[in-house]
Structure 1
Amino acid sequence: MITIALEAGAKILEVYGSEDFKVESKKDDSPLTLADQKSHETIVKGLEDLTPNLPILSEEGNHLKYEGRKDWDYFWLVDPLDGTKEFIKRNGEFTVNIALIHQGKPVLGVIYAPVLDTLYVAKEGLGSYKLEGVTSKQYNSVETFTTLAMKLPLDKKDEKISAVASRSHLSKETEEYLNKVKQKVGEIDITSAGSSLKLCLVAEGTADVYPRFAPTMEWDTAAGHAIVMNAGGTVTQPNTGEPLVYNKENLLNPWFIVRKDGFNL
């Protein structure tokens, strides 16, 4: 999975360094670039070679109706380029997201930020890890990787509560939630970030909470959900406290709150 994510990231950077992204608009008016398409093709080919019998659900692929996928036991859930708006802005805050889903739960997750050359990886039973400068590192086994990488969450010495919010989708409801946290704990630090990096910041403990009261799709959150969960955190619905589940009939996520381990507000 790591190799596939890095190959997809390299394809994205080829387009990122060009003058023309070939931006189109999808049916929902969200942007689509040549980089999205090249990353999708690279990931699909890599996953088909790795696990030829497992289905793949990608943002940029053909989406089967629920009747055709409701009985999937394991499947890959992919966002080839999460944060296309950040990509177009050239701020580097976009990622490649690949998750393995088992019976509605993410059990493996890889997030790669090509410009930052930073990788987040999670596996059920193994934990969550962050590796910086990943393309310059040499590893050929899980043992070597976990030796080079930092296990999440990282030690955080700052006593002040910190939150992370979407750079492009800060809703009124999100602001209201953050104001409620402020009323309970006093002033908080609020950081804006793009793409699935927001979940990663909670997983590593840099942020305590990430409230999302705005639309997201399953492929936006699955890999990050795995990384948060295997670092001890939660990704839950605000009204029920239930975790997000995957391969629903409607692939739109409900609103959710990402919390690091021990944060209960």
Structure 2
Amino acid sequence: MEQKYVMAAIEAALKAGEKILSVYNDPASDFEIERKADNSPLTIADRKAHEAIVAILNDTPFPVLSEEGKHLGYETRREWDNLWIVDPLDGTKEFIKRNGEFTVNIALVQDSVPVFGVIYVPVKNELYFGVEGVGAYKCSGIASWEGDGVALEGLVAKSERLPLKEVHDHLIVVASRSHLSPETESYIADLRKKHGSVELISSGSSIKICLVSEGKADVYPRFAPTMEWDTAAGHAIARAAGMEVYQAGKEEPLRYNKEDLLNPWFVVEPKREH
């Protein structure tokens, strides 16, 4: 993995975060909410973030598959060995509610596997990133990036390695704030039977995968629809932190750049030993 691509993605995520906050922090903004074909919301911030990211990633050799961009047919995409998978604003519902639980997600996928990911939480100035073979990290208090030549090592030096040494004597499950399905509730009920004390924490967007990668939660079950751009960046970070995003009920992880961009149900947890 060439450092320049990692740094380009980090720069893109931070620039997108600036655009999102300029809308979010404007008291006069009504977010210009539209409805997409699936009735999910789209705001001016989604569009501005997408433009900021694409302007940077288009200078790399890899095509960009963004939630807010054109989705080319599989006959074209199947030729892509490497691609960026991007969600310019993950957690639009949380953005509209103004609860701060939204992120910018950028992943580099090689041969269906996410090998690098960056997730930026603009309201908290928190940056999570994971690079295959290097590790997963969290950098706090990073608000902008001027591409001033700081190498990846410099950023790593300012960051905490994941998972953090979180000590808790009970199982912590993280689940969706806006999409808690009956199947997920049933899975959590089964965990309670098995482990006794189970603490449930709720969060929006890809922050949930970050919480498992960080060690603040033990497992994140998702038995409800998600798209590849919702999980690719978090999946890369989880992999670099020694975790995995398994297809529910299987030993296989999620795969990317599929013909159908809808994910199967999944569970994020520490890598299983075979």
TM-score grouping bracket, smaller chain normalisation: over 0.9
1:64 is aligned, of 54, 61, 72, to 72
Instruction: Tell me whether 1:78 sits opposite 2:86 in the alignment.
Output: yes
Measure the CA separation in 2 of the matches of 1:262 and 1:161: 17
Instruction: Specify the SS of the correspondent of 1:97.
Output: strand
In structure 1, the residue matched to 2:188 is 178
Give the AA of the match of 1:141.
A
Checking the alignment, whether the CA contact within 8 Å between 2:31 and 2:44 is kept in structure 1 is yes
1:228 is aligned to 238
For 1:104, give the aligned amino acid.
S
* TM-score w.r.t. length of structure 2: 0.93
Three-state SS of the structure 1 residue aligned to 2:109 is: strand
Q: Is 1:159–2:172 an aligned residue pair? A: no
Distance 2:62 2:239 in 1: 23
Deviation at 1:148, TM superposition (A): 0.8
Aligned to 2:127: 119
Which string of whole-angstrom CA distances, capped at 9 and with x for unpartnered residues, describes residues 151-174 of structure 1? 000001111110000000000000
The residue number in structure 1 matching 2:141 is 133
Q: Is the 8 A contact 2:107 2:116 kept in 1?
A: yes
CA apart distance, 1:135 = 2.2
Using structure 1 for the length normalisation, give the TM-score: 0.96
* Equivalent residue, structure 2, for 1:195: 205
Residue correspondences, number: 262
The residue type equivalent to 1:205 in the other structure is G
Matches within 5 A, 1:101-116: 101-116=109-124
173 and 139 in structure 1: CA distance in 2 versus 1, 3 angstrom threshold: farther
**Unmatched runs of 5 consecutive residues or more in structure 1:** none
- The structure 1 residue matched to 2:95, chosen from 79, 84, 87, is 87
Dislocated runs of 4+, deviation >2 Å: 135-139, 260-264
Report whether the alignment pairs 1:243 with 2:253. Answer: yes
C-alpha separation between the residues in 1 aligned to 2:164 and 2:219? Answer: 15
Match of 1:5 in 2: 13
Structure 2 distance, partners of 1:190, 1:213, is 15
User: 5+ unaligned residues in a row in structure 2: which ranges?
Assistant: 1-8
> Which of 15, 22, 29 is 1:14 aligned to?
22
Residue 43 of structure 1, CA deviation:
0.3
Tell me the CA shift for residue 180 of structure 1: 0.4
Alpha-carbon distance, 1:139 to partner: 7.9
Q: 2:54 aligns with which of 40, 44, 48?
A: 44
Superposed displacement of residue 261, structure 1: 4.7
Identity %: 57
Which among 133, 148, 152 is matched to residue 142 of structure 1? Answer: 152
